[in-house]
Every structure is written in C-alpha cells, then in structure tokens.
Amino acid sequence: MAEGSDERTDRTTDIPGVDQTKPSIARTYDYLLGGKDNYAADRALADHFIKDLPGSQTIAFDNRAVLGRAIREIVVNTPVRQFLDMGSGLPTSDNVHQVAQRHAPESRVVYVDHDPVVLAHGRALLEENENTTVVQADLRDPKAIYENPAVRDLIDFGQPVAVILSAVLHHLNDDEDPAGVVRFWYDRVPSGSYVFISHFRSENDPRSAHMQEVLQASLGRGRWRTDDELLALFGDGLTVLPPGIVPAAEWRPATPPLELTVWERLIAAGLAVKP
C-alpha cells in the first residue's frame, strides 16, 4: 500500500452522515490493510503507525489472518453455521462470509458496525448474497443488536452461534464494560456456541503504551490489555480452547513461527465455547 496520503483519492465522499475531519476505527484499519475506503484523517492516523513505528502494521495483518483461521476452524470442525460479526469493519479479502461459505455455503453471517461507510459498502458487496447482511448498530448496545429484525432474519438464537469480536473490544474503554458485552451474548446463545476474541495485547511495554496514547488522543479510545485482562473478558462460563489466549501469529497457524517479532506479540487471540 502507498504510505503517503497524497496518492489516495477519497471514494467515500458521497456517503452522508460521515465527518471526514475525524478518523474512524474502521476506515483507519481499512487503510492499514491496503484498502481505499478512507479519508485523509484516517490515513494521517494510520501513517503515524506506519512511518513512526515501523513494523507495527503487522498487527493489522496478523489480526486479519487469525480471524480467517478461526472462522475456518469453526466451520470445518463444528456444526455451527451462523455468525454474528461485531465491529466488522470495511470489506476486505476473506471476509467472514467468504471463509465460512467457502466451506459451508449455507452459512449465515450478520455484520455489525456503526460506521456509515461500512454500511454503504457492505450492503453493496452483499446485495446478492441472501445469507449475509450488514447492520448499522453500536457494539455497546447489544440489546438493540439482539432485537434487530435484520439480525433475527438470519440468526436463530435457539441454535448455536459464533459471536465474533475481532479487534473491537480493545476500542471499548474500561468504563464501557467490554466484559459485560461478552457476558450479554453468553447469556443469550445456547450451549455449543462459540466466542472469538482478538485484542491488542500489552506486556506493559513502551510500544503498546505509546500506541495506546496515540489512539486515545485521536479517537478517545483504544486499550492494550494484559493476558490476565484478556482472559477476564471471556468470563467464567466460557471454556477457552487450546492453545488458549496467545499472540495471533501463534493461534493455530499452518506453519508455527520460529520467533515472534515485538509487534507480533502485541495482538492476541482466543476461541472459546459455551459448554
């Protein structure tokens, strides 16, 4: 991807309800992954990581890769065929529905995000896929998501569901009770359901502390959490499956890494099942 913003053209200028002067989590992530659906403000935030913290972009790519592995694991090795992807972000390669439906075409996927750009581009992408939809909603209001008719059209909460929280809970500050969000869904899905979480991982190191400061200053959110804090997000009822909560690059890779870089250590992932 181009590292400077001068080579980019905004493809999202005609979408109403978007403040182009403020960076968005979804659009910044889109730029980090090489996408084009972002504004100058998003690129400026992302470029801080790309240019001033060389190698940190690995976090975004590791997260995307582990998401695909987790979806494949669920579809290939369990009977679960419905997915609720919270804070899904902008469409890129190997979205949840693409991975799931590649192995099980009957899989149903609901994407949830509050960014209007995600809604616009997601609906365009999914227009002809009757088993997939995108809903504009706020992760912090899970009851509204649970009761949304579009969600209910595809998700049967009487059957096991995979709840996907990929790189989103770290954008909830402590006072927004991210563990409470997980608990809400745990209470409403049946036995045999899965919860996948990926999250910024802190080793109480200066790099994660600096990145947290940058995100808090620009977005008002962004929290690196320790391994113990990440485990606490799953709560007491969920059973975290092997290999546990580990750096994303070490979560069931096709080829285990010989040694992790500093940046690879700063994003973790875990998959849990409701007994």
Answer for the pair 49, 75: CB distance below 8 angstroms, yes or no: no
Give the length of the chain: 275
pLDDT of residue 3: 34
Q: Which of 246, 87, 247 is nearest to 164 (CA)?
A: 87
Answer for the pair 198, 59: CB distance below 8 angstroms, yes or no: no
Q: Up-side HSE of residue 84: CA atoms within 13 Å toward CB? A: 28
pLDDT of residue 56: 84
pLDDT of residue 82: 98
pLDDT of residue 91: 66
Strand ranges, E, within the chain: 82-86, 108-113, 132-136, 162-166, 194-200, 239-240, 246-247, 267-273
Superfamily for the 58-202+225-273 domain: Vaccinia Virus protein VP39 (3.40.50.150)
Q: Which of 131, 67, 137 is nearest to 95 (CA)?
A: 67
Q: Where are the domains of the chain?
A: 58-202+225-273
pLDDT of residue 17: 66
pLDDT of residue 90: 72
- Mean pLDDT for each consecutive 10-residue tract of the chain (275 residues)? 38 63 80 83 85 85 96 98 92 86 97 86 80 94 97 98 97 94 98 98 89 84 93 96 97 92 94 98
